[in-house]
Amino acid sequence: MNATINLENKHFPVLLNELISIISPLYGGTFIDCTFGQGGYSEKILENKQNNIIALDRDKDVLNSTSKLQKKYDKRFKFYNLKFSQLDQIKLNNHKIKGIIFDLGYSFNQIKNSKKGLSFSDKGKLNMRMGINDFSANEIISNMDENNLSRVFKVFGDEKYSKKIAKKIVEKRKDKIIKTEDLVQIIDDIKKYQKTKIHNSTKVFQALRILVNKEISELINGLINSFNLIPTGGIIAVVSFHSIEDRIVKFFFKHYSEQRNSSRYLPETEIPEKCFKLINKKPILPGLSEIKKNPPSRSAKLRYGIKTNDKCDFSEFREKFKNLINIENLR
């Protein structure tokens, strides 16, 4: 699901006003934009002269947008071509970090870039790499065995027909390299009598994109790194777009904002302290006016937490989603 839409070359970051209302009380320092994209969040924050931005993005295609902000805001803006799991590699120098922001969606420009192969309407070799990748969707479709393909489609895409699609892919690839249009046709043939509100290929494409870009481990490591980087009192805010992302983000904030291991048999000194304070326990959703202007925003959820403790043991967090990470490491 894409986080932004471009109508007549205009860029609309999702839940922008809601995000700004959350972080604006902390203005007067540096904010980290972990998914720069087209720079909608970064530019809005930089409009306040008290603020600085450190931005990250794994996609080198954003460099045109970053150069514009660099020229306009000079030393108040710094960009790194990194994944947000590499957050710990940035140089903070004397920056006082007030907030860290994640927008987990894809921009309209990325979807429409045929070289990335994220759209069902693209033709040619399967790709789906967003930058700093080890492999492409073509390598997965061409080499992964039938059982693992089915598992990826089922778990990452919640695809009902995962087994049938995987079987047909393995049959077809014996005779030819499966391109984007071929994969779409395979799925359409299997689902030809099914009536759905979404495109037939949506779930399989989502599953491949998650696998190729290692979106699960990226998110988990990015969230943990953000906690380690931000000082107490700082805000971590995340906009997610599909159920797997939101489940991870929800657990991260909810689990570590509750009093854990409250057994009466444990000494009080051994009970872990809360790591976050939550102002909103439920996600913030886009309003009807935003959804009307930007329909893809309808699936967006904004969650955030205020850091309350310098140390936090995230072993339970990693264990909770170990199965997803194991699937992400399939080849």
* Helices and strands in the chain, H and E counts: 14, 9
Question: Distance (Å, rounded) from C-alpha 65 to C-alpha 61?
Answer: 9
pLDDT the model gives residue 118? 72
Lateral strand order in the sheet of 276-277: 77-80, 52-56, 30-33, 97-103, 235-240, 301-307, 276-277
Mean pLDDT of all residues in 301-317: 96
Q: Cα–Cα distance between 21 and 291 in angstroms, integer?
A: 19
Q: Rg (Cα) of the chain, in Å, rounded?
A: 21
> At CA 155, angle to CA 149 and CA 158, rounded to 5?
105
Same domain, 170 and 221: no
Number of domains in the chain: 2
> Using 50, 70 and 90 to split pLDDT, how confident is the model at 226?
very high
Query: Does residue 264 register a pLDDT over 90?
Result: no
281 vs 88: CA distance, rounded Å: 28
Count of C-beta atoms within a 10 Å radius of residue 237: 24
Last residue of some domain: 212, 235, 266? 212
Which has more pLDDT, 11 or 163? 163
Question: How far, in Å, CA of 156 to CA of 163, rounded?
Answer: 14
DSSP category for residue 274: P
Residue 263 has pLDDT above 50, yes or no: no
The better pLDDT of the pair 113, 182 is held by 182
- 32-72 per-position pLDDT tens digit: 999 999 899 999 999 999 999 999 999 999 998 999 999 99
Full domain range(s) for residue 202: 134-212
Average pLDDT over residues 158-169: 97
Q: For 49-63, 194-208, 223-237, 315-329, which range has the lowest pLDDT when averaged over its residues?
A: 194-208
Give the tens place of pLDDT for each residue, 272-294.
789 999 999 999 999 999 999 98
Q: What is the pLDDT of residue 270?
A: 58
Return the DSSP state at 284. Answer: B
- 86: CATH: 3.40.50.150
Average pLDDT over residues 250-272: 72
The per-residue pLDDT of the chain, averaged, comes to 90
Does residue 42 share a domain with residue 161? no
In this structure, are 185 and 234 located in the same domain? no
Q: Strand 30-33 to strand 97-103: parallel, antiparallel, or no bridges (unpaired)?
A: parallel
The vertex-135 CA angle with 129 and 139, nearest 5°, equals 105
**Band of residue 10 on the pLDDT scale cut at 50, 70, 90:** low
pLDDT at 5: 43
Q: Are 229 and 293 part of one and the same domain?
A: yes
